[in-house]
Amino acid sequence: MKIIAADICDIDLHPWKPPIIPRLITDEGIYGLGEFPLAYGTGRQAAIAMTKEMVEHYVIGADPMQIEAMWHTLFRRTFWGQGGGPVVYGGISTIDEALWDIKGKALGRPIYDLLGG
């Protein structure tokens, strides 16, 4: 299984905290959703751009079941990952969420079970 496409949805549900939801889609038709924690204020456009760039450069074509490997890739290869900050770490965590969603759906198990119960 691998990620073949992604949508970065900028959803306007609430005036002060509209969510940014990435949807990662696999070649088996399974999709995973995440939510960017930095979804409001002046960082919003940076959050959308960071998620889009990470997905385009590192996630498309990757195996969604290799979650820890993807985390290390995003942390070590994005240059800014090791320097920290809410935009970079928010992008990493959002992609991480979506990958866990895919893994849970593929295995037919709730994510809390996969994380130890």
Residue type, 57: H
3-state SS class at 103:
helix
Mean pLDDT, to the nearest integer, of 8-18? 76
Q: Which domains does the chain have, with CATH numbers?
A: 3-114 (3.30.390.10)
Segment 23-47, tens digit of pLDDT: 999 999 999 999 987 766 677 888 8
Cα–Cα separations (whole angstroms), residue 50 to 31, 89, 92, 110: 20, 10, 9, 28
* Residue 16 pLDDT class (50, 70, 90 cuts): low
**pLDDT class of 15 with cuts at 50, 70, 90:** low
Mean pLDDT comparison of 8-17, 61-70, 107-116, highest-scoring range: 61-70
For 61-80, write each residue's pLDDT tens digit: 999 999 999 999 999 988 77
pLDDT of 39 reads 62
8 with 48: CB under 8 angstroms? yes
